[in-house]
Structure 1
């Protein structure tokens, strides 16, 4: 494991896992997100969420105002950038990182037959949304 993922793992372990409220996530029907833990340190929010993507659904096109670190607990996530190119396929046990900024628009899709379950750590400026929506860049898929 590289140093960055080790630091993320340590931070995840340090967050208390208190039950949270369930929120909808942009994207297809049945895509949900549940806050597992949330804390603010200085001007940064550290939010741990579980995201579930049913088969055939996706997150919708979006970006993040801070870095995002995800662990695939179940299923396989297909990830695409704004050029419509695949920038990764992540199976159970994989980690992925999404950089911040509107110049990093992307979509995650479940092209499999079972749910994708992600544990996602958001490191956001205090009060920022999880993922602002972005327009479809014109790919031949949603």
Structure 2
């Protein structure tokens, strides 16, 4: 789903309202392309749910690797254009700078994000996950001719 909304403020507010932890991290998905990185911006646990805000950078020509999430994910494209593909190998969205992205949870939602452009893709991503869950669950390539 693509929408141009002030989602960044809502994401940051939801996480920062409860407290902030910051530090470097690496992106989790297999096989992520060389240079795909993540930076922790904020993190808070409320009840049994972890809310984590991260900045993900995908260099030109690279991808996140095939994966899914145990909870919903919300993102804003801060730079570049993200090309998003479902496990059917079909594109399910092209998201330029300023776009909002929502990814549903579960193993039935395997996907990959690819940077097909010539500038880095920078995403600000809010993960809403069951407490202690990884940011992503690795998945094999479902048979697509690209990685």
> Whose strand fraction is larger, Structure 1's or Structure 2's?
2
Q: Following the alignment from structure 2 to structure 1, what is the Cα–Cα distance between the partners of residues 137 and 21?
A: 25
Given the two structures, how large is their TM-score scaled by the length of structure 1?
0.91
Equivalent of 2:139, from 131, 134, 137?
134
Match of 1:48 in 2: 53
Instruction: Provide the C-alpha distance between the structure 1 equivalents of 2:8 and 2:58, rounded to a whole number of angstroms.
Output: 23
Is 1:25 the counterpart of 2:28? The answer is yes
**Structure 1 residue 6: Cα displacement:** 6.5
Could you say what the CA RMSD is over the residues aligned between the two structures, in angstroms? 1.6
Check if 1:123 corresponds to 2:108. Answer: no
Query: Contact 1:25/1:31 (CA < 8 Å) preserved in 2?
Result: no
The answer to whether the 8 A contact 1:8-1:69 is kept is no
String of CA shifts for 1:35-89, please: whole Å, max 9, x gaps. 1000000100000000000000000000000000000000000000000000000
Task: Name the SS of the counterpart of 2:70 in structure 1.
Answer: coil
In 2: Cα distance, 1:130 partner to 1:29 partner: 18
Distance 1:57 1:12 in 2: 27
Contact 2:7 2:100 in 1 (8 A): no
State the 1:126 CA deviation.
0.2
Query: TM-score, normalised on structure 2?
Result: 0.88
Alpha-carbon contact 2:26-2:36 (below 8 Å) kept: no
| Runs of 5+ consecutive residues of structure 1 not aligned to the other structure | none
The answer to whether the aligner puts 1:107 opposite 2:112 as a matched pair is yes
Q: 5+ unaligned residues in a row in structure 2: which ranges?
A: none
Distance in structure 2 (CA, Å) of the matches to 1:65 and 1:102: 8
